[in-house]
Amino acid sequence: MQRFVLAFALMLSASPAFAALKPGTRATDFTTQAVLAGNVDTFNLNKALKRGPVVLYFYPKAFTSGCTVEAHEFSEAADDFAAYGASIVGMSADDLDTLKRFSVEACRNKFTVGIATKAMIKNYKVGLPATGMTNRTTYVIAPDGKVLFAYSQLGVKGHVSGALNAVKAWRAANPKGK
């Protein structure tokens, strides 16, 4: 039944793009429970932004085919993002035990995954109707807290490449990282 609800919600929101935050919008700070390489910690957006841009990507459900593929793609590109000073964090409404496994198996210990709270889902405009889950939206947030890139598509294609291009462009315009 849960898969039916997910499939139905995804069909409802399968428009060309979801209503995402627009570039230039200030991203709302948040702190949430998060996991890296199976280890539980907290993630705070403003703290992460002090180190450089943050690729904040929302995905509907761990261990579904699209979300697993997306996590693999982000893990394969993690070193490229790091070379430009960016960090990656994936967010879903999954529980902590699921995220522990997902961080190791799908994210390959390369980046943090965290719990998308109801407030985050609302603030980042990533809710799937009537499910409590998030849609598939990727943001790149600059160290000043402003959204540089927003991409919302049900399919996986374009999320990693678009985010990496945004990070590269940011680095070219900010060679010293400021």
The residues carrying an active-site annotation are 67
DSSP 100-137: HHHHHHTSTTSSEEEE--HHHHHHTT-BPTTTS-B--E
- Strand 112-115 and strand 31-36: pairing? antiparallel
Residue found by looking up tokens 């943001």 in the block: 139
Q: Length of the chain, please? A: 178
Bridge partners (DSSP) listed for residue 137: 58, 152
Contacts of 74 (CB under 8 A, 6+ apart): 55, 57, 88, 90, 107, 110, 111, 159, 160
- Give the separation between CA 89 and CA 71, rounded to whole angstroms: 10
- Give the separation between CA 20 and CA 138, rounded to whole angstroms: 9
